Structure 1
Amino acid sequence: MARDTLTRDRIVQTAVELLDAEGLEGLNMRALGKRLDSAATAMYWHVKSKDNLVLLATDRVWGELALPDPAAVGWRAAAAAMAADLFGMFTRHPWLVPAFAAHVVYGEGKARHDDHHLAVYEAAGFTGAQADQAAAAVFTYVLGNAAGAAASASHARRLSRDGAKAEAQLNDAMTKAQEIAMNYPHLRARLDTAAAADYAAAPAETFEFGLQALLDGLERNVTNCGSGLDGSR
């Protein structure tokens, strides 16, 4: 593909596809150029650097998120929908989790989402820093849960790339983890059940359970907005 037929939009979309397939560690200009049938050096005419490309790709996927209207559905339903949508985005694009650790993530798409997220909690009755705290609490809860999906995606890539060697290493690590867990009564009780094979897997409903518990707490505290989230005066 000639340099003048490349566009930033095409490069960014292809970068997202590469990141989805290979993870953050698999993104490089040579691999991207191969997918675009173009020289790696041609990418730099449209994106400044690999780091800038990660930011552009991140902002592209942030545009996937819906912005439910709290006036139409209520603040809590809007907050729950945004959290579930955000979690879905992180699980579709698990490279976003390590991207947060390695980059200062910003852009129009993220700003659009963050602005609306604050508006949802302001609609609930939180003001100023309290709205910031409520939005941040939910966002970090979602991000923390998405870390498991990111780890699973990384393990899957290793198994696909390294085959039997990676599988043997993973099985060895799981065996050692279970041996250690057997020294602790609450963990041992779970390993002794029929579900021991699923020891490392969290129940499917864990995310929703935790989200609703978090929103319950915010809903109780919103009446204390005038005196602080902890109810102190």
Structure 2
Amino acid sequence: MANRTDSSQRRGESLSRDRIIEASIEILDTGGEGGLTFRALSEKLATGPGAIYWHVANKNDLLVAACDVIVARTMQACMAKASPEDTIRAIALGMFDAMNAHPWVGSALVQASGQLPGVRIVEGLGQSLRALGVPDAAQWPTVSALLNYILGVGGQNAANTQFAIARGLERSSFLHATSTTWSQLDADAYPFTRSMAAQLPAHDDRADFMAGIEIFLSGVKSSGARSH
């Protein structure tokens, strides 16, 4: 019995938490949250669950840690741009692309509410907004609104991509079909939507997302000018 215990301890020590997290990210990318089990992780790492539990408490611990690695990498690449505006743009687009590449990140951020992954994003946005001169009283609501936009739109885009993949939908065909449907709407009941039908097939999700960020930045700068 003592030998088995010693052997289990050595296996636990031979694994690093970083290695476990990287393996978890690979599983999450291919199988989503449902695919991340300690059994799947044990098979991937060629070890027993006990060795993994030596480093992580449970699946939620793994999910948050994996999410934090993705967010930390993204934030590191986005900070210290030429201006606060450019930093905000970089954070927004970086997280949009990260959620598209790792669709589980959006859900993980919700589950990790108030923890380090989200704090990293809040800190990056908050420092930039302070540098833009946003008044103290307006900083939290501004950060909150911007964060909700980034995670909401980025998460929905990632979900749409996964929905299309799961159902074998090709983006161009889907958009053309939707455009046709919109063009046939009642002109009196849906004048705006019908007028957008021709633009739908050629629209770019990333460009649309960044257009929203520019609206935020214009509002921030306009509010700052009025407050002085």
- Aligned partner (choices 113, 138, 155) of residue 147 of structure 1: 155
Report 1:1-233 matches (<5 A).
2-64=11-73, 65-66=75-76, 67-69=78-80, 73-104=82-113, 106-107=115-116, 110-155=118-163, 158-159=166-167, 182-185=184-187, 186=191, 187-191=193-197, 193=198, 198=201, 203-225=205-227
Task: Name the amino acid aligned to 1:138.
Answer: L
Q: TM-score scaled by structure 1?
A: 0.73
Identical aligned residues as a percent? 22
Q: Aligned Cα RMSD in Å?
A: 3.3
* Partner Cα distance (1:6, 1:136) in 2: 38
Task: State whether residues 109 and 118 of structure 2, in contact with CA within 8 Å, keep that contact through their aligned partners in structure 1.
Answer: no
Task: Name the amino acid aligned to 2:26.
Answer: E
Task: State whether residues 29 and 103 of structure 2, in contact with CA within 8 Å, keep that contact through their aligned partners in structure 1.
Answer: yes
* Partner Cα distance (1:176, 1:39) in 2: 49
Note the C-alpha offset of 1:179: 5.8
Note the C-alpha offset of 1:215: 0.7
Q: TM-score scaled by structure 2?
A: 0.75
| Cα displacement string for residues 140-181 of structure 1 (whole angstroms, at most 9, x for unaligned residues) | 22112212332134325635xxxxxx66xxx99x97997698
Identify if the C-alpha distance between structure 1 residues 176 and 128 changes in structure 2 by more than 3 Å, giving closer, same or farther.
closer
Which structure has more helix as a fraction of its residues?
A: 2
Task: Name the amino acid aligned to 1:4.
Answer: E
Aligned length: 209
Identify if the C-alpha distance between structure 1 residues 63 and 179 changes in structure 2 by more than 3 Å, giving closer, same or farther.
same
* Partner Cα distance (1:23, 1:136) in 2: 27
Task: State whether residues 67 and 105 of structure 2, in contact with CA within 8 Å, keep that contact through their aligned partners in structure 1.
Answer: yes
State the match for 1:163 in structure 2: none
Give secondary structure in 2 for the equivalent of 1:205: helix
Task: State whether residues 75 and 123 of structure 1, in contact with CA within 8 Å, keep that contact through their aligned partners in structure 2.
Answer: yes
Task: State whether residues 58 and 105 of structure 1, in contact with CA within 8 Å, keep that contact through their aligned partners in structure 2.
Answer: no
* Partner Cα distance (1:112, 1:101) in 2: 14
Task: State whether residues 133 and 224 of structure 2, in contact with CA within 8 Å, keep that contact through their aligned partners in structure 1.
Answer: yes
Identify if the C-alpha distance between structure 1 residues 94 and 85 changes in structure 2 by more than 3 Å, giving closer, same or farther.
same
Gaps of 5+ in 1: 160-165, 227-233
- Which shows bigger deviation, 50-59 or 22-31? 22-31
Gaps of 5+ in 2: 1-7
- Which shows bigger deviation, 116-125 or 49-58? 116-125
Task: State whether residues 28 and 50 of structure 1, in contact with CA within 8 Å, keep that contact through their aligned partners in structure 2.
Answer: yes
* Partner Cα distance (2:219, 2:26) in 1: 38
- Which shows bigger deviation, 2-11 or 118-127? 2-11
